[in-house]
Amino acid sequence: MAYDTLIIGAGMSGLAAGIRLAQFDRRVLILERHSLWGGLNSFYKLKGRMFDSGLHALTNFAPRHAAGLPLTRILRQLRIPYEALKLGEQAGSRLIHAGRELRFHNDPRLFFEEFARVFPGEIDGLRRLVADFPGYDAPPGGADCDDSARARLSQYIRDPAAVDCLMLPTCIYGSAREDDVDWDQFTFLFRAIFLEGFSRPEGGIKSLLDLLLARLKAVGGELRTNCGVRRILTRAGSVTGVELDSGEEIPCERVFSSAGHTETLRLLDPRDVPSAAPGRDPAHADQSRAPRLSYFESISVTAEAPAAYGYGDTVTFFNLGERFRYRVPTQDIDSESGVICSPNNFARTTPLAEGMLRLTVLANHAHWTRLAPDEYAAAKQDAADRMLAAATRAVPALSALPPRVLMRDTFTPRTLEHYTGHLGGAVYGAPRKSRDGTSGVGRLSLIGTDQGMLGIIGALLSGITIANHHVLAESLR
Amino acid sequence: MTQDEVIIAIKDIIAQIAPDEDLTNLEMDVRLREQIELDSMDFLDIVMELRKLYGVQVPEKDYMELATLAGCVKYLHPLLEKKPLHCAQGAPIS
């Protein structure tokens, strides 16, 4: 079997790109290093229970007939029926910043009312800001896409606390950049969180992944798991195939890589690595030393749903300090800010068997990789306890959690690096993105994290968009 | 394929791409994008499906010719005249 396109990584972007290409008769093979597909957004079984590894909530909720929104566009492009996802909408979420609380849910009017209540002098600025967002039809990678969202926001909103309130959820749900978000990503995330909102497939991430895999197979695409790529083979600056960890070589016409920009360039013969693409900032090509944001996360299982002990939010973004700080922590974790969420707090047809509560904060990758094997387990428990204590300051109901916990699992930047392959366990990749998906090497396209559309919906759109632009539309010229 | 069958072929492709849209009362001379929700991504798919199903290559400069159903018939009928109609799922249309 000869392949047109090999795709490195069976995460959301790789699966979406694979479906798009195979749907139009390209011979596609997705190569996944791990035994499960999904990448960051995967699932695992532990002590007889099934867990989602990445999913907090699916952003960008759209009702069934709402065409033109990211969710409905993705489903059309992948030919997946809306009902198949069995989406349940969020119960309601909260933003807690330095003692101020703003509620929001899938009707965006609530968030605007809350913002007007907490920041009466800034609501007009927020409305002007949103009115100035580019439309979804604007082509990706416009001239101002890398602009600082913080700087843009300050042109509309004066109160730094109000700016921080908008930075908190958008940073945590998709910024690879310290103390800031790229402007285009900010507009996408603001819409994704506040204008469209949260839902969750009834069956969790696995049900979405099952739909994607079934669709890939139905259109003739292939997936090989436990199959890492060791090298990308090139001739005269253009891709000719890949070499697997096993030594097997597979020739192809084109490679799509979701491994990350620097991570992908490291798979090339160093002589083929472009020093910097023409006309680009050299920092763009070499992101290997840029600071990378990673996370520490715990999932606690209880017999009853979190609502039973007073936690009814779907998602709570919290920041305890006066200013919101989004930087690589100097310590193991930075529990001043973070996110709390529960899969129980979505509309469902049948309740989940047990309660689950997830806490997430920024973490320092270097700290976690330095730990000796005999220190690691205790360090995780200690960090998880401190994270819960901080979250309890924001949401006092969580004080009732500890005696109820049946089991708690944690992941660190080390876990994230292992399962995503992203340097530093950086779930959002390098700070500088390649929005056009070019790598500087012929017939090697970047998709996923370092292409710059983040989150589950962003990653699916990334795979679709690059497949459309680099292969399908190209084939019509 | 007759001119009427060209319309069936196009509607069948749109039904594949946008299963939630009601295609029963589409006007011939009104732009499709004004009657149903179709964006540039969907338009790429119409052109890709035409090539996949019927081997018809529509160059980018001619996309505007497909803006209305009447335009589709005018542009596509000469290209599809000698080809049999079949629906996007591959099953023959009765």
Q: Per-residue pLDDT tens for A86-116?
A: 999 999 999 999 999 999 999 999 999 999 9
Query: Are A309 and A374 in a shared domain?
Result: yes
DSSP state letter for B89: T
Q: In the prediction, which pLDDT does A280 show?
A: 46
Residues 6+ apart with CB under 8 A from A306: A312, A342, A344, A345, A355, A356, A357, A401
Read off the pLDDT band of A276 (50, 70, 90): low
Between CA A134 and CA A83 the distance in angstroms is 29
Task: Examine residue A35 and state whether it is found in any structural domain, yes or no.
Answer: yes
Query: Are A240 and A256 in a shared domain?
Result: yes
Between CA B94 and CA A257 the distance in angstroms is 44
Environment class of A181 (CB within 10 Å of its CB; exposed 0-12, middle 13-18, buried 19+): buried
Between CA A236 and CA A159 the distance in angstroms is 55
Read off the pLDDT band of A275 (50, 70, 90): low
Count of domains for chain B: 1
pLDDT, tens only, B2-33: 999 999 999 999 999 988 888 989 999 999 99
Please list every residue in chain A whose beta carbon sits closer than 8 Å to the beta carbon of residue B42: 76
pLDDT, tens only, A231-254: 999 998 899 999 999 999 999 999
Q: In the prediction, which pLDDT does B86 show?
A: 80
Read off the pLDDT band of A181 (50, 70, 90): very high
Interface A:B, Cβ pairs < 8 A? 44
E strand or H helix that includes residue B70: helix B69-80
Query: Are A208 and A78 in a shared domain?
Result: yes
* Distance of residue B29 Cα from the nearest chain A Cα, in angstroms: 23
Query: Are A177 and A148 in a shared domain?
Result: yes
Residues 6+ apart with CB under 8 A from B73: B3, B6, B7, B28
Question: Is the confidence metric ipTM above 0.85 for this complex?
Answer: yes
Does B70 reach chain A within 8 Å, measured CB to CB?
Answer: no
Q: Inter-chain contact A76–B60, Cβ cutoff 8 Å? A: no
Q: Which residues pair with A405 in a beta bridge?
A: A302
Of A320, A269, A295, A301, the residue nearest A441 (C-alpha): A269
Query: Are A10 and A64 in a shared domain?
Result: yes
Read off the pLDDT band of A452 (50, 70, 90): confident
Task: Examine residue B43 and state whether it is found in any structural domain, yes or no.
Answer: yes
What region does A191 belong to: left with phi over 0, alpha with psi -120 to 50, or beta?
A: alpha
CATH code of residue B8: 1.10.1200.10
pLDDT, tens only, B28-67: 999 999 999 898 889 999 999 999 999 999 988 898 999 9
Please list every residue in chain B whose beta carbon sits closer than 8 Å to the beta carbon of residue A80: none
Task: Examine residue B90 and state whether it is found in any structural domain, yes or no.
Answer: no
* Chain B interface disruption, residue of A76, A80, A471, most B CBs within 10 A: A76
Of B87 and A160, the one with more pLDDT: A160
Domain end marker among A419, A438, A468: A419
With pLDDT > 90 as the criterion, what percentage of chain A qualifies?
A: 87
Of A455, A467, A409, the residue nearest A429 (C-alpha): A455
CATH code of residue A30: 3.50.50.60
Q: In the prediction, which pLDDT does B39 show?
A: 87
Read off the pLDDT band of B90 (50, 70, 90): low
Domain end marker among A163, A196, A229: A196
Query: Are A284 and A273 in a shared domain?
Result: yes
CB distance A30 to A18 below 8 Å: yes
Query: Are A284 and A157 in a shared domain?
Result: no
Q: Is B90 helix (H, G, I), strand (E, B) or coil?
A: coil
Q: Inter-chain contact A24–B16, Cβ cutoff 8 Å? A: no
E strand or H helix that includes residue B5: helix B3-17
Read off the pLDDT band of A261 (50, 70, 90): very high
Count of domains for chain A: 3
- pLDDT of A277 over the 90 cut: no
Task: Examine residue B73 and state whether it is found in any structural domain, yes or no.
Answer: yes
CB distance A463 to A20 below 8 Å: yes
Which of B39, B40, B47 is opposite residue A476, by nearest beta carbon? B47
The range of the structural domain enclosing residue A252 comes to 3-86+203-288+430-476
pLDDT, tens only, A183-199: 999 999 999 999 999 99
Name the pTM for this structure. Answer: 0.94
Task: Examine residue A425 and state whether it is found in any structural domain, yes or no.
Answer: no
Task: Examine residue A165 and state whether it is found in any structural domain, yes or no.
Answer: yes
Query: Are A21 and A105 in a shared domain?
Result: no
Please list every residue in chain A whose beta carbon sits closer than 8 Å to the beta carbon of residue B40: 137
Q: In the prediction, which pLDDT does A1 show?
A: 62
Task: Examine residue A424 and state whether it is found in any structural domain, yes or no.
Answer: no
Query: Are A331 and A412 in a shared domain?
Result: yes
- pLDDT of A278 over the 90 cut: no
Q: In the prediction, which pLDDT does A288 show?
A: 72
Average pLDDT over residues A391-401: 98
Query: Are A441 and A370 in a shared domain?
Result: no
Which of B19, B39, B59 is opposite residue A476, by nearest beta carbon? B59
Q: In the prediction, which pLDDT does A285 show?
A: 54
Task: Examine residue A334 and state whether it is found in any structural domain, yes or no.
Answer: yes
Closest A-chain CA to B36: A67
Task: Examine residue A360 and state whether it is found in any structural domain, yes or no.
Answer: yes
- pLDDT of A291 over the 90 cut: no
- pLDDT of A208 over the 60 cut: yes
Task: Examine residue B47 and state whether it is found in any structural domain, yes or no.
Answer: yes
* Distance of residue A252 Cα from the nearest chain B Cα, in angstroms: 22
CB distance B69 to B33 below 8 Å: no
Average pLDDT for chain A: 94
Read off the pLDDT band of A143 (50, 70, 90): confident
* Chain A interface disruption, residue of B13, B20, B36, most A CBs within 10 A: B20
Query: Are A301 and A396 in a shared domain?
Result: yes
Domain end marker among A400, A419, A438: A419
- pLDDT of A281 over the 60 cut: no
Q: Which residues in A have their CB inside 8 Å of a CB on B?
A: 24-25, 64-65, 67-68, 73, 76-77, 79, 81-82, 137, 464, 468, 472-473, 476-477
DSSP state letter for B8: H
The range of the structural domain enclosing residue B15 comes to 3-80
Average pLDDT over residues A137-143: 73
Q: Inter-chain contact B57–A476, Cβ cutoff 8 Å? A: yes
Query: Are A148 and A181 in a shared domain?
Result: yes
